[in-house]
Structure 1
């Protein structure tokens, strides 16, 4: 592979913003990739994948390169040299790059690969937490979470069939394959920009991981029913629920962030989902009128996001133990508060994109022992582990109200 100066420099600029200024990787890359109109898809792919790679392996590469945060440009170039050397890429004789000690880099890599916190490139506290919560399973899970995420689509059955979408994408030279256990999912065989296809513009599909698609299926909403999605965000799951309800009945999508609900409205228009009503939660009064009214309630709770590190590798550097303690309290409050919306005989799904028992089954256990959970019975739960599925890590519990 021949390295191009402007692509490498764009990568270094992106890494500076992510590591030294705490900016979100996906947002940084969105801006970086607009920088030069002459870049083709391969050029943009190089910048995005290299940036994500170095973010993912930050601790390992910094240790091999013998550099410490905050990283100046020289440090970032040294980390880039480690990345290139481990891939057998020859680095041109540029003044920004010091001569690269190839044998030393490979030797250090072999040595550090015997120590999990370097091999999997994670902070000490996260490694300790993983062992404490998952025991022997932690090795396989953190290893799986360091793999690059597949691009998975969810066919919007309001507008198209799986076959129609597959054929339409094939005409745009995008090959897909089906995913076992996810009837509306299509996985891309190779990464491609699907957002420029006519099928996407016409609302035939959304990009949504296969594990995430299982949440609405698990809720099993029926056409004509009343469903409340309590932490709807930009609405990936609300849109899936609308499709499963065949656009019949009512979905009330709640969130504390108005901008996310605005995005949901825009997506719903494109998808032809007419049965979603959005409501901003301003205070406790916002949900008062819904108490005891819903056939089904989805609580896709805010969480550590450890199950989605494949697609958000920078999260492992931003996540802090204090945040985890705080988010668990929030999960408890949300479960207690929003469970009241379920009508007698109705059902509730509590879901997270985490693999930690303390955010998942232990939260449900705690809730069932509380006064608020007295009326509920656990019907079933599902733990989706990345090492087993190859997709994101998720947890889901289905509770029935007496």
Structure 2
């Protein structure tokens, strides 16, 4: 287990100090080492938990470090972070084991002095487990500490949604996400895929809202399962799974997906259209288009064409060419924090403002690519209203030929249907935070 603690600290160091992506680093490190399933599971839990609760952990550590965390060696800090996470949030790891292994790791990787510091801080923390670290009369401080979010982000959600919904969002963003797969109706039926997963020993259930969805609660990595390899299923969150059906696709349609990589929504469009018509998949990064092509090949899709393009620059040859256009625009990603917890600490208000200009350029261009009476589907994986409702209001003001066509997915407690016809999906165990609005070109 000592090696596993080192792997945890190594991954957290790469993510929090070198701004690497948690899912990519974790996958690479787990594949690099010979580990049993139990150790892989514990490493995954410690890594994501430490990143998720970094704000809370740092508040705790700052109270036991004379000079605070800023002047501390980053690797020593990340050893401390992973140890505090285990002590505070993991019942399955004894406190003495978390402390001893952190001390030994600091000694081995850094110095005896570092190990003494780690030992002193952690044992001091253990003596003060009931200490209160925030002003209990301040609701913002309480939410920040209890859900581990920076103040600017807590304030943003409170200002946009009110305290009750803001707390629901914070709670949802800390949920451990279920793995959800979409059944590929080009290759098999829902029942066939469900039964085969069940027979393979997976703990599964039907989707939360999507008829094509199967939720995998427990089981080995689905990417090594024959059903995935053969293209009968593909991994996709249920929020994203709602996009393609919302477009009211028909056979032989001409469809554009302007920001397509890695291709989850694009391939879903092709599946719904039964491999008829043509689906043009664009992305600004040619290397990401290779993911779209690989997904399409695995799923048996042959009506999809990939092309590199910057969606923020108008392309005259696409003017009024499409029955439907999808713009799943680049966004702040505040709705997918439960899967990529480092987003909590890599975004700020400046970054949120800067991306809106790009989003609006893409929206304006997309408006010109839709045929009269065709549809435009706008989606994001953020909960920032300035990227969502405010962008739609701006778009309608600048494109009067469009109107909103309200969507309805059922009465679910994490769905918010606005008076104007926009849909916001709050995060929970089954779904990412998401925003969907369908627009119809009238002339």
- Classify the TM-score, shorter chain: over 0.9
Q: Does the Cα contact within 8 Å between 2:311 and 2:362 map onto a contact in 1?
A: no
Supply the distance in 2 between the matched residues of 1:191 and 1:106 (Cα, whole angstroms). Answer: 35
Q: Does the Cα contact within 8 Å between 1:112 and 1:119 map onto a contact in 2?
A: no
- State the number of aligned residues: 395
- 1:319 aligned to 2:347? yes
The 1:72/1:41 distance shift into structure 2, 3 A limit, reads same
The 1:51/1:191 distance shift into structure 2, 3 A limit, reads farther
2:330 matched to which residue of 1?
A: 302
SS of corresponding position for 1:183: coil
SS of corresponding position for 2:31: coil
1:128 matched to which residue of 2?
A: 155
Structure 2 residue runs without a partner (length 5+): 63-67, 105-117, 407-421
Q: How does 1:236-251 map to 2 (within 5 A)?
A: 236-251=264-279
Q: Deviations over 1:170-217 (max 9, x none)?
A: 232112111243010000122530111111110011110111100111
> Which of 375, 379, 389 is matched with 2:401 structurally?
375
The 1:127/1:191 distance shift into structure 2, 3 A limit, reads farther
Supply the distance in 1 between the matched residues of 2:128 and 2:135 (Cα, whole angstroms). Answer: 11
Tell me the CA shift for residue 101 of structure 1: 4.0
- 1:78 aligned to 2:80? yes
Q: Does the Cα contact within 8 Å between 2:312 and 2:365 map onto a contact in 1?
A: no
The 1:248/1:112 distance shift into structure 2, 3 A limit, reads farther
The 1:241/1:48 distance shift into structure 2, 3 A limit, reads same
Q: Does the Cα contact within 8 Å between 2:259 and 2:311 map onto a contact in 1?
A: no
2:383 matched to which residue of 1?
A: 355
Supply the distance in 1 between the matched residues of 2:217 and 2:82 (Cα, whole angstroms). Answer: 28
- 1:328 aligned to 2:324? no
2:368 matched to which residue of 1?
A: 340
- 1:397 aligned to 2:397? no
1:153 matched to which residue of 2?
A: 181
1:118 matched to which residue of 2?
A: 145
- 1:106 aligned to 2:129? yes
- 1:54 aligned to 2:56? no
Q: Does the Cα contact within 8 Å between 2:284 and 2:309 map onto a contact in 1?
A: yes
Q: Deviations over 1:54-74 (max 9, x none)?
A: 000001012112252465333
Supply the distance in 2 between the matched residues of 1:284 and 1:331 (Cα, whole angstroms). Answer: 8
Supply the distance in 2 between the matched residues of 1:285 and 1:56 (Cα, whole angstroms). Answer: 36
Q: Does the Cα contact within 8 Å between 2:324 and 2:375 map onto a contact in 1?
A: yes
Tell me the CA shift for residue 110 of structure 1: 7.4
Tell me the CA shift for residue 80 of structure 1: 2.3
CA RMSD of aligned residues (A): 2.0
Moved more, 166-175 or 255-264: 166-175
Q: Deviations over 1:210-247 (max 9, x none)?
A: 11100111112111111111110111100111111111
1:68 matched to which residue of 2?
A: 69
SS of corresponding position for 1:119: helix
SS of corresponding position for 1:397: strand
SS of corresponding position for 2:405: strand
> Which of 384, 387, 395 is matched with 2:425 structurally?
384
- 1:203 aligned to 2:231? yes
Supply the distance in 2 between the matched residues of 1:71 and 1:369 (Cα, whole angstroms). Answer: 52
Normalising by structure 2, what TM-score? Answer: 0.85
> Which of 27, 33, 37 is matched with 1:36 structurally?
33
Structure 1 residue runs without a partner (length 5+): none
Normalising by structure 1, what TM-score? Answer: 0.93
